[in-house]
């Protein structure tokens, strides 16, 4: 027994020590989980499939949003007259989008196949932790292990 403390104070002290050790353990586990997720995400994001998908997406977005340089006034007028005479139809934005989506489809499905199991694993881990936290909340915190002192 600690000097100057009654049984109630000592019990409260043990509860505080148990809560502190539990908090420290949870912080350590969270740090380990963050490091594991970081390593996994870094590994997956630097895979050739994801890099190829990113390059393809950037190219498609660049093509769709590219600004065309205006021609001088004479060339513009001549081009407009010529377009009216030849009745040339240019593909609309929807046709271009469908064309590029058809090209990107295999890339998108490979990225989905690559990252799908990882995302599902994260969801399962989160559900298990939530269930464990609910059980701890219902049953109360676990009893701390008592340290035994050996006398010489």
The model's pLDDT over 126-138, given as tens digits with 9 standing for 90+, comes to 777 888 888 887 7
Q: Say which residues have a Cβ less than 8 Å from residue 61's Cβ, sequence separation at least 6.
A: none
pLDDT digit string, tens, across residues 47-71: 888 888 888 888 888 888 877 665 5
pLDDT digit string, tens, across residues 139-152: 765 565 555 555 44
% of the chain at pLDDT higher than 90: 13
Residues 25-38, mean pLDDT to the nearest whole number:
92
First to last CA, the chain: 19
Rounded CA separation 17/11 (Å): 10
88 pLDDT above the threshold of 50: no
76 pLDDT above the threshold of 50: yes
Q: Where residue 30 falls among pLDDT bands split at 50, 70, 90?
A: very high
105 pLDDT above the threshold of 90: no
């Amino acid at each position: 027994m600690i000097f100057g403390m009654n049984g109630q104070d000592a019990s409260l002290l043990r509860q505080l020590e148990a809560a502190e050790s539990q908090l420290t353990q949870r912080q350590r586990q969270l740090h380990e989980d963050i490091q594991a997720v970081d390593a996994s995400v870094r590994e997956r994001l630097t895979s050739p499939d994801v890099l190829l998908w990113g390059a393809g997406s950037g190219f498609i977005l660049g093509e769709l949003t590219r600004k065309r340089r205006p021609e001088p006034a004479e060339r513009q007028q001549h081009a407009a007259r010529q377009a009216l005479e030849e009745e040339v139809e240019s593909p609309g934005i929807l046709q271009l989008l469908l064309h590029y989506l058809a090209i990107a489809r295999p890339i998108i499905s490979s990225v989905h196949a690559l990252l799908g199991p990882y995302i599902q694993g994260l969801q399962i881990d989160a559900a298990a932790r939530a269930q464990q936290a609910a059980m701890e909340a219902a049953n109360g915190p676990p009893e701390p292990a008592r340290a035994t002192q050996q006398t010489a």
